[in-house]
């Protein structure tokens, strides 16, 4: 049995952060293995990335279940089946069910392409964040990694790195600069959490 931490990554889109996590697990810089990739969208390109890396995938659409409890129990069962110890949200646009929050208390983390709390909350994702930052004429934005709780973009901040905003920036240009930091910072934080989990096991 691998000593590595069992990791599940939740996505809704292209999965560039997922790719950087897969790569860092593969080269050993994160002492974890991605055992499951969960998406709320069956056409998310991140699912293709997972399949290419030989990782199990699961499309979780709550309304396909008779009720929320059944849906939540099914999701929990999937986590148990794949021996998941840590959950990383990487562009996942749905709320995490309370049952999962309870089961993985303090072990669900999210990456946000802006500084919290001012650029967080419902609807604040992707280019929406960068657009809001530019419209507010901010001099800097950033990347925030935080623990997940029952409120969007809330929870204890684990890491934050600031990124400059230039006067001529478009949301797309700013997104590229922020994403570079995301791809570096998220694996660092996941490495630290994974090391902590391995220590707690001993």
pLDDT at 106: 94
Q: How far is CA 157 from CA 72, 109, 127, 169, 172, in A?
A: 26, 9, 22, 27, 25
Query: pLDDT by residue (tens digit) across 106-125?
Result: 999 999 999 999 999 988 99
Catalytic, 130? Answer no
Q: Are 90 and 21 in contact (CB under 8 A)?
A: yes
Instruction: Work out the number of other CB atoms within 10 angstroms of the CB of residue 73.
Output: 14
pTM of the model: 0.96
Structure token pair of residue 158: 């684990």
Task: Report the C-alpha gap between 22 and 42 in whole angstroms.
Answer: 20
The pLDDT of residue 92:
96
**Which residue in 93, 109, 94 sits closest to 156, CA to CA?**
109
Residues making up the chain, counted from first to last: 202
All residue ranges of the chain with pLDDT < 70 are 1-2
* pLDDT in the model for residue 1: 45
SS (H, E, C) 27-46: CCCCCEEEEEEEECCCCCHH
Identify the active-site residue in 112, 130, 146, 183: 112
Tell me the two tokens of residue 40: 């709320």
For residue 11, give Cα distances in angstroms to 28, 108, 164, 178, 197: 22, 13, 27, 18, 23
* Structural domains present in the chain: 5-201 (3.40.50.170)
- The per-residue b/e assignment along 106-134, b for 16 or more CB within 10 angstroms, e otherwise, is ebbbbbbbbbbeebbeeebbeeebbebbb
Q: Name the token pair of 28.
A: 């050993």
pLDDT at residue number 70: 96
pLDDT value of residue 202: 83
pLDDT of residue 55: 98
């Amino acid at each position: 049995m691998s000593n590595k931490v069992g990791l599940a990554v939740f996505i809704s889109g292209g999965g560039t952060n997922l790719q950087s996590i897969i790569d860092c697990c593969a080269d050993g810089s994160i002492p974890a293995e991605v055992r499951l990739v969960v998406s709320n969208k069956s056409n998310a390109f991140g699912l293709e990335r997972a399949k290419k890396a030989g990782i199990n995938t699961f499309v979780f659409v709550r309304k396909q279940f008779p009720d929320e409890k059944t849906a939540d129990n099914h999701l929990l069962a999937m986590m148990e089946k794949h021996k998941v110890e840590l959950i990383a949200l990487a562009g996942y646009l749905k709320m995490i069910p309370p049952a999962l929050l309870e089961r993985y208390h303090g072990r669900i983390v999210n990456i946000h392409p802006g500084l919290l709390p001012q650029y967080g909350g419902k609807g604040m994702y992707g280019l929406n964040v960068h657009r809001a930052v530019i419209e507010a004429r901010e001099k800097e934005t950033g990347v925030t990694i935080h623990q997940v709780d029952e409120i969007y973009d809330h929870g204890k901040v684990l890491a934050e790195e600031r990124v400059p905003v230039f006067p001529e920036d478009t949301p797309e240009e700013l997104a590229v600069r922020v994403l570079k930091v995301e791809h570096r910072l998220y694996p660092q934080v996941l490495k630290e959490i994974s090391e902590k989990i391995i220590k707690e096991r001993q």
